[in-house]
A and B are shown apart, each in its own frame.
Chain A
Amino acid sequence: MSKVPAFLLALFTGTLSVAVSAAPIAVSTTGQLALAPDVAVGPKGEIAILWLAKGNPDTPEAKAAAAERAKSGHSHRSSMNLYVAVSKDGGASFSAPVRVNREDDEVWGFAVSRPRVAWGRTGTLHVAYPANEMQAKLGKSVLTARYTRSTDGGATFEAPRRLSTVTDSDLSSVIHGGFASVAAFGTMGVAPNGNVHVLWIDTRDMKGGSDNGSVYGVVSRDDGVTFGPEERLAAGDVCPCCQINVAFDAKSRPLLASRQVTAGNLRSSSVGRADSAGHFTTRVSTGGTPWHLDGCPLKPTAMAVQGTHIYTAAHNGADTPPGVMLSASNDGGKTFATPYAAHPGAQVSDAPAFAAIGQRVLVAWHAKTDGPRRVFYRTLDADGSALGAPVELATGEGSTQTPALAARPDGRAQIAWQQGDLIYTTALEVK
């Protein structure tokens, strides 16, 4: 069955509330596999697209590195580099890719543990990502949470800093294929007061018995110049491979979206607002059928906050068919409405992302209908109810996946996605 272009579909269904406002632009380098995009829009409308890029595995250097990794056998190292492209003309054009990390292939990540990018209030560009390191005492691989920033609009980046503590914990026989410890699947956000929050899922509390992670994090109150002490923010009940997300209320209090694991190995998306100490001691399920799984879901929980409204989206394998479920709270996170399917009729849907724009919320995801995986989106009203049917992103043929969204100051949304081996971006009109 041939594909119906998105704009024709919208004309027939009369549900066009979002439209691509410009031709998509490829920002990554041709010939290099790029994946896991993130997007951020700054206060002046600056746009940053961040992505992972896999080096060429056939170079002598890459082969030597692969041989070195093979010696450790049981290992989950991935060897990526991190790039950013910036637009200062509202997305009409983007800079050439700038490498963010200093050490070759140091970045660990993939579509469901994507590095994060955010603009500060005064134009600082913040980047957080998981990185490969060796724990010298143990002689084993670990994953650490790293941070760097650019104070010249993304042209150059400071030397990356490790934010997580490397302990003597050695769970290499239990977790993530041989890492002694892991700080990954994280998130970053800049609160309205300018504080930079970096959070990640940490294995140090597993202690060889539990499969679940804890959330640790740090806060910078000086635009990333320094970070406060590392703290445990949620203890021992977080799905260790389900990326977390942070957002903020108007008072700059962080909210955490995670997949919480409860008795019986039930995994449910949940949202918690930080208490006065900054800890997420109480979290509320976003509803739906708890997912019983003794496995790796690899399913993030996306979240957006607008006033007292909280919007969440996450794949739930317990639903039939499995797919992205949307839920909303209109009382600041005390309760959540019954979730509903983002994409009824899709064979499967996953990888949701949000942008809250005025009284509207845009949600995007990828789904399979009758062909390859494609990016879709739809608009939600302030209360979280759907305003229109899913619309397929109008772009080239083939697979499109892992969308990222950010609100623009002009009322549009910036979307980035992987298409084939490249990262593309464009602006979407939200009406």
Chain B
Amino acid sequence: MKRREFTAAAVAATIGTLPATRALAQAAGAAMPAVIPPVSADSLRKLLGAQRGKVVVLNLWATWCAPCLREIPDLVRLEQELAPRGVVLIGVSMDEPDDGERVAAFHAKYFPAFNTRLRSERELDAIASVVDPAWNEVLPTTYILAPDGRVVRRVQGTKTHDEFRALIEAALEPATTR
């Protein structure tokens, strides 16, 4: 019973944060994309390569993955908190590649400040293999990449703001002490 109450509260809390996230994005002048930019394995590789020197949080999610949706507001908030220290959040929606309009509508409605792409590869595995050839198709999966591009953590399942923050801080440490 306790768990049920907790879960309900977590869902309610998540849903409660959505308008706030949207308002934050609108206040910040964030663009509301009509389409989600597609990303292939090659373009993801280039995108990640262009972030060298920063800590990248790569989040694999899907509109149908309820646990994914719970953690996205926290990840967006963390990026806003840690961007000055060189943290970049990149999402990749694992929804169907030809479902762009629906995913874009969903994104604009719930997570407009979430910097995400939509996979253009038919195979889920093709995208994840850019950073993790052993990905087991669990969602959400979040990778934390060090400034040199290495994956330093693979996180599966929903994590809280504080749990993510601790993992990202750990990845930031070598960069700040170098």
Asked whether any CB of chain B lies closer than 8 Å to the CB of A57, the reply is yes
CB-nearest residue of chain B relative to A112? B137
CB-nearest residue of chain B relative to A208? B8
Question: Which of B11, B63, B134, B140 interacts with A347 by CB under 8 Å?
Answer: B134
A223 to chain B, nearest CB (A): 35
Question: Which of A73, A176, A322 interacts with B102 by CB under 8 Å?
Answer: A73
CB-nearest residue of chain B relative to A77? B102
Asked whether any CB of chain A lies closer than 8 Å to the CB of B115, the reply is no
Task: Annotate A174-204 by CB proximity to B: 1 below 8 A, 0 otherwise.
Answer: 1111100000000000000000000000000
CB-nearest residue of chain B relative to A66? B101
Would you call B99 and A66 a contact (CB within 8 A)? yes
Question: Which of A74, A265, A296 interacts with B138 by CB under 8 Å?
Answer: A296
* Chain A residues in 8 Å Cβ range of B140: 295-296
Question: Which of B5, B7, B102, B157 interacts with A75 by CB under 8 Å?
Answer: B102
* Chain B residues in 8 Å Cβ range of A368: 125, 133-134
Bound Cα distance from A209 to B65, whole angstroms: 16
* Chain A residues in 8 Å Cβ range of B156: 293, 295, 317
A160 to chain B, nearest CB (A): 23
Would you call B7 and A209 a contact (CB within 8 A)? yes
Asked whether any CB of chain B lies closer than 8 Å to the CB of A373, the reply is yes
Would you call B66 and A73 a contact (CB within 8 A)? no
Of the candidate stretches B72-80, B81-89, B105-113, B165-173, the one touching chain A is B105-113
Question: Which of B4, B11, B67, B98 interacts with A57 by CB under 8 Å?
Answer: B98
Would you call B65 and A296 a contact (CB within 8 A)? yes
Q: A76-B64, A173-B11 are in contact. Are A294 and B158 (CB under 8 A)?
A: yes
Q: A174-B11, A295-B157, A298-B137 are in contact. Are A74 and B66 (CB under 8 A)?
A: no
Would you call A73 and B134 a contact (CB within 8 A)? no
Would you call A295 and B67 a contact (CB within 8 A)? yes
Bound Cα distance from A294 to B156, whole angstroms: 8
Interface size class of A (residues with CB under 8 A): 35 or more
* Chain B residues in 8 Å Cβ range of A295: 65, 67-68, 138-141, 156-158
Would you call A69 and B133 a contact (CB within 8 A)? no
Would you call B3 and A73 a contact (CB within 8 A)? no
Bound Cα distance from A78 to B97, whole angstroms: 12
* Chain B residues in 8 Å Cβ range of A292: 157
Bound Cα distance from A200 to B149, whole angstroms: 43
Question: Which of B101, B134, B136, B138 interacts with A70 by CB under 8 Å?
Answer: B101
Q: Which of A298-353 contact B (CB under 8 A)?
A: 298, 315, 317, 321-323, 347-348, 350
Q: Which of A64-114 contact B (CB under 8 A)?
A: 66-67, 69-76, 78
* Chain B residues in 8 Å Cβ range of A33: 122
* Chain A residues in 8 Å Cβ range of B62: 177
B45 to chain A, nearest CB (A): 17
Bound Cα distance from A350 to B124, whole angstroms: 14
Q: Which of B137-151 contact A (CB under 8 A)?
A: 137-141
Would you call A70 and B98 a contact (CB within 8 A)? no
Q: Which of B1-31 contact A (CB under 8 A)?
A: 3-5, 7-8, 11, 15
A237 to chain B, nearest CB (A): 11
* Chain B residues in 8 Å Cβ range of A294: 67, 157-158
Q: A174-B66, A293-B157 are in contact. Are A317 and B99 (CB under 8 A)?
A: no
Question: Which of B3, B105, B122, B139 interacts with A298 by CB under 8 Å?
Answer: B139
Asked whether any CB of chain B lies closer than 8 Å to the CB of A297, the reply is yes
CB-nearest residue of chain A relative to B110? A74
Would you call A74 and B63 a contact (CB within 8 A)? yes
CB-nearest residue of chain A relative to B15? A173
Q: A33-B122, A209-B7 are in contact. Are A322 and B136 (CB under 8 A)?
A: yes
User: Chain A residues in contact with chain B, CB under 8 A?
Assistant: 33, 57, 66-67, 69-76, 78, 173-178, 208-211, 263, 265, 292-298, 315, 317, 321-323, 347-348, 350, 368, 373, 399, 421
Which 7 A-B pairs give the minimum distances between C-beta atoms? Answer: A177-B64, A76-B64, A209-B4, A295-B157, A57-B98, A347-B134, A70-B101
Could you write out 26 A-B pairs with CB less than 8 Å apart?
A66-B98, A66-B101, A70-B102, A73-B106, A74-B106, A74-B109, A76-B63, A174-B11, A177-B64, A178-B63, A208-B8, A208-B11, A210-B3, A265-B3, A292-B157, A293-B138, A293-B156, A294-B158, A296-B66, A296-B140, A298-B139, A317-B136, A317-B138, A317-B156, A347-B133, A350-B136
New A-B pairs, 7, CB < 8 Å, besides A76-B63, A208-B11, A211-B7: A73-B105, A74-B109, A74-B110, A177-B63, A210-B7, A347-B134, A350-B136
